[in-house]
Structure 1
Amino acid sequence: MSVAQEPASVTAAGPQFADLTADLAARLPGLRGSLTANASLADLTWFRVGGPAQVLFLPADADDLAYFLAGLPAEVPVTVIGLGSNLIVRDGGVPGVVIRLGRGFTDIEVEGLRITAGAGVPDVKVARAAADAGIAGFSFLRGIPGAIGGALRMNGGAYGGETRDVLVRAEAVTRAGEKVSFSNAGMGFTYRHCGVPEDVIFTRAVFEGRTGDAAVIAAEMAKITESREATQPIKSRTGGSTFKNPPGTSAWKLVDAAGCRGLTIGRAQVSELHTNFLINLGGATAAEIEGLGEEVRRRVKAASGVTLDWEIKRIGLPLAGAPAGH
C-alpha cells in the first residue's frame, strides 16, 4: 500500500491525500469501525487548527482495533489522538492512519475502591465517578482537560496528583494487533511520560483509590475548578500546558521572566492570564502556534539558560513552504 509522504494536492479546502479507504476496506472485510478519507482533524482539536488525516479510523471497540491493526500493512504509519486537548496538528495534515477512540471506549465501572475506565473517557468523568462513589485520590483528574488514554501515555497530573498514583493496570493493543496488559510498575512512569512503546494503543485502565468522604471530595474538585477558571484561559482555544515544568521551577515563571507574556505571532498568542498557555485568537495556523512556542523556547533559553521541553504533542507535516517547528 502506497502511503503519501505529503499531500497529493492542496485545494481551496486545504491539503488532500490519496484515498486509502477502499483498499483498507477490501483488506479488512470484518471491520466494524468507520474509515474516513481526508478527515478534518482541526475539528477534533482544542486549538482548532491543522490539516486532515489521510485516513481517520474510529474503531468500534478493542476487538475491532486489534483486528484492524493485525491486518494493516506494517508500512502504514499509525497516529493516535484523544480529545485533542494537548495537541497541535500541523497544517499539512497527517499521513497514514489516525485512530481516535470513541464510543466503544467510554465505559466506566465502579466496584469497591476500583474504577475501570475506557481510554476514551474524559478525565473529569472519572473524577466525578470517584467523587460520587466516595473514592478519594482522583480529584486531580478534574484539572486535566484530556481523556484517560492521554493520561496513561503522559502520566497526566495536576494539583498534586498523577496518574501513576492511582493506576493498577492498563490494557492496550500493540501495532501488530496483540492485546497486552501493563502493571503500574510496567508502565515506566516518570514526570509527564510513560515508558511503554509509542506504537502501543491504550484501550482501558483499572484504577484504585482509597475510602473518602463524598462531601470532602466534592469540595476538593470545586476548589480545583475555581482555581482553573481563575488562573487558566480555559474558555479560549488553547492546548493546555505548553511546556513541561523543569526541575525546581515552573515553566510559566521562566516564560514570564523572558518577557513573553502576551507575545504574538500572527493570530497566535502567549496567554496574558497564564504564560504556559498558547492561544488561537481566531484564524491562527498550526505553524503560527508552533512557531510561537519555538520563539518562547528560544527566548527562555537566552534569558535563563533553560531549554523548555514541549508538553503539547505535535503531529503531522508542515504545509509546503511553511516553517517547521523543532
Structure 2
Amino acid sequence: MSGAAPAFDTIMPPVRGKMTARAPLAPLVWFKSGGAAQWLFEPADADDLSAFLAALDPSAPVMALGLGSNMIVRDGGVPGVVVRLGKPFAKVEAVDATTLRCGGGASGILVSSTARDAGVAGLEFLRSIPGTVGGFVRMNGGAYGRETCDILVECDVILRSGEQVTLPADALGYTYRHSSLPEGSVVVSALFRGEPGEPAAIQAEMDRIAAAREESQPLRSKTGGSTFKNPDGHRAWQLVDEAGCRGLQLGGAQVSEKHTNFLLNIDNATSADIEALGEEVRRRVKAKSGIELEWEIQRVGLSK
C-alpha cells in the first residue's frame, strides 16, 4: 500500500478523550519503526468512542492499536484514525468463580494474574502473549496449546458505524490466528471463562510458561513476535531454519538466531527493511520446501 494519505483533518468530531494529529507510532510498537498516525485517538470510555465513530466521515479508515507487539507499521504511516485503548479500558474483574470481565486494553499479564488471584485456571497462556485483550480476540491469540477461542464467552465491540454490540464467541468465525470481526471495529471488553483452580498451581504453570518463553524467544529485542503462521503439519521456525535463513540480515533487520520465526530490528531498521526481510524468507522457504509461509504479523499503513 503506497501513496499520500487522504485528508480528514477538517472533519474530526469532538471527543472527550485525547486526539493527536500526526502522532508517531514507532514508540508505540515493538519494532520501534514506522511512520505516524494521521490521527491517534485515545477515547475516555466506550461511549466516547461510539459517538466519535458514529460522527466520523464513513470513508475515514479506522484501526485499533494494542501494545503493537505483532505489527509492522509501514514507513509512510497510517491514514485515518488509529484508536488506542488506554487505562479506562484496562480493568479486569472477576464476575463469578470461573469468569472474568476484561477491558479491551488489558494486558495478558494483568488478565492471567487476576485470574490466578481469583482461583481461575485455564488462562495462564495469556501470560506469554505480549498483547491486549482486544488483539487476542481479533487475532484468536494463542500459545502453549491454548487459544482465545477456548476461553472467550462473548465480547463487546464498537462497530465502525459507532453501534455497540455484544457478540458471542461462535459469531466470530474463529480459525487459526483469525476472526471475522468487521473491519474498523474495536473490541472494548471480553468475557473469559476458565475453571476452578488453586492460585499456587496456577502460578506454577505461569512460571513454567514464562521460563519456556525466556529460554526460546528473543524477549529483550526489538521484535514483532511470531512472524509467520505455522502451516498445517509444519513449524514455521523449522522451515525458516532449513531454508538457511537463521541470522539472515537485510539493512538493519535480521532473522533471530535464537528463534528463526522472529525478525529483529538490530540497527535502526526501517519497516521496509523488516518487511523485505520477511518476504525474502518467504521466497527462500518456498524455494526450499515448496511451502508458502503466511504472515502472522499484521502489516499496516502506507509505504514511503
**For the superposition of Structure 1 and Structure 2, which TM-score range results when normalised by the shorter chain?**
over 0.9
Deviates more, 1:110-119 or 1:65-74: 110-119
Which residue identity is paired with 2:163?
E
TM-score, structure 1 length as denominator? 0.90
1:221 equivalent in structure 2:
206
Give ranges in structure 1 of 5+ residues lacking alignment: 8-16, 320-326
Q: Output the CA distance in 2 between the equivalents of 1:267 and 1:64.
A: 40
1:76 equivalent in structure 2:
60
2:91 equivalent in structure 1:
107
Divergent runs of 4+, >3 A: none
Q: Does 1:281 align with 2:266?
A: yes
Does the 8 Å contact 2:66/2:105 carry over to 1? yes
Does the 8 Å contact 1:19/1:38 carry over to 2? no
1:160 equivalent in structure 2:
145
Structure 2 counterparts to residues 1-326 of structure 1, below 5 A: 6=4, 20=9, 23-24=11-12, 28-29=13-14, 31-111=15-95, 112-319=97-304
Q: Output the CA distance in 2 between the equivalents of 1:199 and 1:23.
A: 18
1:324 equivalent in structure 2:
none
Give ranges in structure 2 of 5+ residues lacking alignment: none
**1:23 Cα deviation from its structure 2 partner:** 3.6
TM-score, structure 2 length as denominator? 0.97
Q: Output the CA distance in 1 between the equivalents of 2:82 and 2:3.
A: 14
Q: Mark the CA change 1:191 to 1:19 in structure 2 (over 3 Å): closer, same or farther.
A: closer
Task: Name the SS for the 2:219 alignment partner.
Answer: coil
Task: Name the SS for the 1:238 alignment partner.
Answer: coil
**1:18 Cα deviation from its structure 2 partner:** 5.7
Which residue identity is paired with 1:234?
L
Q: Output the CA distance in 2 between the equivalents of 1:175 and 1:183.
A: 18
Post-superposition Cα deviations, 1:140-199, rounded to whole Å, max 9, x if no partner, equal: 111111110000001000001110111110000111100011111111111111122222
Which residue identity is paired with 1:109?
E
Q: Output the CA distance in 2 between the equivalents of 1:178 and 1:18.
A: 25
Does the 8 Å contact 1:267/1:283 carry over to 2? yes
Does the 8 Å contact 1:5/1:95 carry over to 2? no
Task: Name the SS for the 1:314 alignment partner.
Answer: strand
Does the 8 Å contact 1:51/1:90 carry over to 2? yes
Q: Output the CA distance in 2 between the equivalents of 1:73 and 1:167.
A: 32
**1:79 Cα deviation from its structure 2 partner:** 1.4
**1:33 Cα deviation from its structure 2 partner:** 1.2
Which residue identity is paired with 2:289?
S
**1:5 Cα deviation from its structure 2 partner:** 5.2
Does the 8 Å contact 2:72/2:297 carry over to 1? yes
Q: Output the CA distance in 1 between the equivalents of 2:147 and 2:59.
A: 35
Post-superposition Cα deviations, 1:65-94, rounded to whole Å, max 9, x if no partner, equal: 100000001111111111100010000111
CA RMSD of aligned residues (A): 1.4
Q: Output the CA distance in 1 between the equivalents of 2:268 and 2:302.
A: 19
Does the 8 Å contact 1:136/1:209 carry over to 2? yes
Give percent identity, aligned residues only: 55
Task: Name the SS for the 2:113 alignment partner.
Answer: helix
Ranked by relative contact order (alpha carbons within 8 Å, sequence separation 6 or more), the top structure is 2
Post-superposition Cα deviations, 1:21-56, rounded to whole Å, max 9, x if no partner, equal: x541xxx34x20111111000010000000001111
Q: Output the CA distance in 2 between the equivalents of 1:223 and 1:209.
A: 19
Does the 8 Å contact 2:151/2:192 carry over to 1? yes
Which residue identity is paired with 1:58?
E
Task: Name the SS for the 2:285 alignment partner.
Answer: helix
**1:297 Cα deviation from its structure 2 partner:** 0.4
Does the 8 Å contact 2:254/2:264 carry over to 1? yes
